[in-house]
Chain A
Amino acid sequence: MSLRARWILIGIVTLCSLYLSVPSFVPEQQRLDSALIPDEAMELGLDLQGGIYWLLRIDTGEAVRQELERIKGSIIELAEEKQLLLARSEVGGEVLTLGGDLPGLRKLVEEEIEIADVSQTDVVIELRLDDNWRREVVDRGVRQAVEVLRKRVDGLGVREPVIAPQGSDRILVQLPGAVDAAGARSLIEKTTFLEFKPVLDAAPSRELLEAKLPGGVPEDQVIVIQESATGKESEALLVPKKATLTGDMLEDARLGFDRRNRPLIEFQWNSEGARIFRDFTGEHIGDRLAAIIDGKVVTAPVIQSKIGRNGQITGDFTRDEAANTAVQLRSGALPIPLVIEEERAIGPALGADSIRQGLQASLLGIALVFVFMGIYYSTAGWFANAALVLNLLIIIALMSLSQATLTLPGIAGMILTIGMSVDANVIIYERIREELRAGRPARTAVQAGYARSFWTIFDTNLTTLFAAVILILFGRGPVQGFGVTLTIGLIASMFTALVVTRALIEWVYGDNPQKLRI
């Protein structure tokens, strides 16, 4: 390439890098307001700006159990329809056990439930999910959970959250910025499940209610307790097991206030929910209706009139409880529990400390290198320093452009690529000096110095690149970020050492190379 072509290339790279690195040095608001400055600054990792990192795993055993419960439900219905004897049906571990009219049940299972593994002993049939089905159940669970988490995080107002499935049964969650670690935990609370059930009977306590039922609690009914504000049992209600309406059909739920400014939850049904609710309340005016959240009775008012789409739940809430419950109602339940496998929560103050210390150390190191190079190689040393500055700019620009994340080890990675870049220049300059000592004319010495060093530098950078790429492929979190920074840095360092310093030397000393001070 001619010198002119190289200068054009260097000029373009420098201008682009300058332009793309500007946003990393100006405050966010200014950069978003200005039409000239690009919006994308270097992305800081959670270890630098603070925030929460979670690796969550869905409880696959529970997912399978719930699926088996669902199958059990449909088998019970089908058996009733076909009038088959079903003496036993229970889910234990990851097995659904059926007993009764075995040949009939077996036929029913094989016709209706195709993808389960079926095994039969003398007394029972055992159903297990086959691998494909199991995978599908877990997969569906993960997708559902991601969906629900997204909705819940939206309510938090976190900037640029990451919620993504990982592998087969995991979810990665990143909440950058100042997030309260304790508060964020409500995001992954298992369920907030809202049910409406008609009150069949009521008494001031469980004992008194049981006394009213000489035959015991009927099979399809259950006793629920309403607690007073002090946590004491204030009323026991008899309700059906099956809910009339559940939170699934909610379209919206939000915090509201009554006339005395007490917090309550306002909700709105979707069209199907509204129809059921209207019909039900129309038929049961004068009866009581219990609103139950997570198995606890929140309120059980008497139905005064037909209610349609909109309603309210009043209860002994604090403002925060009502707001949180509303968010959770709106986002739906997390039917399958999530386990925190990995958590990294970094307070913003700690992140700022780390940045400060990492930067100070790095800047000091770079300054020492600068001074040394300038003294040891004189003019040529300052050329190398200029190349080093461009190197840093290119790294910042490429990091901003690719939206790669700068982590704390990433800062160290940046420093190390500076080491590599210095090494490249040292190799070249030492070679030029050697050629000069051997008595070659300056022009030949410079040319030979670059030519003979080229493949050395290429090989050394490429092998380090292998290590960096393997870090990206197999590392996680901060280590991966380190690999990305290292890769970008190595590419930038090859360019600056092999192209930029050489162009500078040829430009300044092209006509009288004997003046080169190296």
Chain B
Amino acid sequence: MEFFKTATRIDFVGKNRIMVTISAILCAVCLVSMVTRGFNFGIDFAGGTVVEFQAPEALGPIDEGKVRSALSGTEYADASVVRVGPPEDRTFRVSLTKSQEENRNLSVDLVKELGAKLGGDVTMRSSESIGPRVGAELRRSALIALTLSWLAIMLYVWYRFEWKYAPGGVIALVHDVVITAGMFSIFQWEFDLNVLAALLVIIGYSINDTIVIYDRIRETVATRGETELDDVVNQALNATLSRTVLTSGLTLLVVVSILILGGPVLRGMALALLIGMLSGVYSTVYVASATLLWLGRRYGRVSAPAERKARAAT
């Protein structure tokens, strides 16, 4: 079975101008949102306490309102309450901005209080509490990790290809991270440690995609020369199109099944992966290749180390 029996001849490069403009606007919107609206940081980064508890059957019907009214008038009145899972699970998540640095028994006290107010023994299913110092450290190390991976990848691409390939690859990565993080900011989805992990995977995936196409561009340049660079890039993109569609399609299949069935803990991560991978496929064409094309037109010569690669491959 084959999706693309005859070679496609799509003019990707011809739409560069309009696509780059769209990308730029989208990135700008995301950046503005990140600066002005900021993120809905999970307690990993913001600090605070989240307790998940289950109410026993004996308490009769229960909903978020009932839990909230049980907490009103206590010292936990400012807590936010969300239901977890289907109603018959009778499970709720209570978030407090305070951490256990001040009161190490915060989560235990909260569950006790809930039990007393609701009139039965509630079970603590999980509790997480992160102090402000740890939260700040995690934010910082997240930034370091992102920057370092960008740097490492740029150096590697520079080493394996011509320098003109490196900026495009890295701008594409930054683009994907900005778009994904931007969506989390615009829609105020919770940004936690797992979403950060997803961002790092997106970087890996996006560079993966970019390298596959860069490789093909370099190879095509080696055989056709670089007089018609636009055409060369178009040819390389078309030649790898079926691979791009297949791989991203299959990976997205897995990501979507995690998104739908993976449960609440993995949801944010899967969502970030979904956005980032779509953005990664797009950015390979309209960010990475477009940048390479522009640099190639300006400075010429995009083929140099291909001989080294050809030699190594044989």
Q: Is the CB of B247 within 8 A of A342?
A: no
Residues 45-91 of B at the A interface (beta carbon under 8 Å): 52
Chain B residue total in the interface (Cβ 8 A): 75
Closest to B270 in A: A412
| Contact (A341, B133) CB under 8 Å given A346-B126, A479-B193 | yes
Q: How far is the CB of A420 from chain B (nearest CB, A)?
A: 7
Q: Is the CB of B243 within 8 A of A426?
A: yes
| Interface: A22 (CB within 8 A) | no
Residues 342-381 of A at the B interface (beta carbon under 8 Å): 342-347, 349-350, 353-354, 357-358, 360-362, 364-366, 368-369, 372-373, 375-378
- Give Cα distance in the complex from A495 to B47, angstroms: 42
Chain A residue total in the interface (Cβ 8 A): 81
> Given A343, A353, A430, which contacts B127 in the complex, CB threshold below 8 Å?
A343
Residues 283-321 of A at the B interface (beta carbon under 8 Å): none
Q: Is the CB of B131 within 8 A of A341?
A: yes
- Give Cα distance in the complex from A346 to B205, angstroms: 31
Q: Is the CB of A479 within 8 A of B196?
A: yes
| Contact (A464, B148) CB under 8 Å given A339-B104, A365-B257, A427-B212 | no
Q: Is the CB of B254 within 8 A of A415?
A: yes
Q: Is the interface of A mostly helix, strand, loop or mixed?
A: helix
Q: Is the CB of B145 within 8 A of A470?
A: yes
> Given B156, B255, B313, which contacts A455 in the complex, CB threshold below 8 Å?
B313
Q: Is the CB of A345 within 8 A of B126?
A: yes
Q: Chain A residues near B200: list those with CB within 8 A.
A: 467-468, 470-471
Q: Is the CB of A368 within 8 A of B133?
A: no
| Contact (A361, B266) CB under 8 Å given A349-B125, A426-B243 | yes
Q: Chain A residues near B291: list those with CB within 8 A.
A: none
Residues 234-253 of B at the A interface (beta carbon under 8 Å): 239-240, 242-243, 246-247, 250-251, 253
- Give Cα distance in the complex from A104 to B196, angstroms: 61
| Interface: A181 (CB within 8 A) | yes
Q: Is the CB of B153 within 8 A of A185?
A: no
| Interface: B262 (CB within 8 A) | yes
- Give Cα distance in the complex from A434 to B149, angstroms: 34
- Give Cα distance in the complex from A486 to B239, angstroms: 29
- Give Cα distance in the complex from A452 to B223, angstroms: 14
Q: Is the CB of A423 within 8 A of B131?
A: no
Give the tally of cross-chain contacts (CB within 8 A): 235
- Give Cα distance in the complex from A423 to B144, angstroms: 29
Q: Is the CB of B254 within 8 A of A342?
A: no
Q: Chain A residues near B240: list those with CB within 8 A.
A: 430
| Contact (A408, B265) CB under 8 Å given A422-B250, A466-B149 | yes
Q: How far is the CB of B113 from chain A (nearest CB, A)?
A: 13
| Interface: B36 (CB within 8 A) | no
| Interface: B167 (CB within 8 A) | no
| Interface: A451 (CB within 8 A) | yes
| Interface: A459 (CB within 8 A) | yes
Q: Is the CB of A430 within 8 A of B246?
A: yes
- Give Cα distance in the complex from A258 to B313, angstroms: 83
Residues 406-436 of A at the B interface (beta carbon under 8 Å): 408-409, 411-413, 415-416, 418-420, 422-423, 426-427, 430, 433-434
- Give Cα distance in the complex from A375 to B145, angstroms: 40
Q: Is the CB of B128 within 8 A of A344?
A: yes
Q: Is the CB of A47 within 8 A of B313?
A: no
The 8 A CB mask of A40-67 against B (1 = contact, 0 = none) is 0000000100000001010000000000
| Interface: A482 (CB within 8 A) | yes
> Given B123, B197, B250, which contacts A419 in the complex, CB threshold below 8 Å?
B250
Closest to A47 in B: B265
Q: Chain B residues near A376: list those with CB within 8 A.
A: 1-2, 246
Q: How far is the CB of B126 from chain A (nearest CB, A)?
A: 5
Q: Which 6 A-B pairs have the closest CB atoms?
A: A357-B263, A365-B254, A464-B204, A419-B251, A361-B261, A467-B204
Q: Which positions in A face B, CB cutoff 8 Å?
A: 47, 55, 57, 181-182, 185, 188, 339-347, 349-350, 353-354, 357-358, 360-362, 364-366, 368-369, 372-373, 375-378, 408-409, 411-413, 415-416, 418-420, 422-423, 426-427, 430, 433-434, 437, 451-452, 454-456, 459-468, 470-471, 473-479, 482-483, 486
Report 23 cross-chain contacts, Cβ distance below 8 Å, ordered by A residue: A57-B133, A185-B104, A185-B108, A342-B134, A347-B124, A347-B126, A357-B261, A358-B263, A358-B266, A361-B263, A362-B254, A365-B257, A372-B253, A408-B194, A409-B266, A412-B269, A416-B251, A456-B212, A463-B207, A466-B204, A467-B204, A471-B197, A482-B197
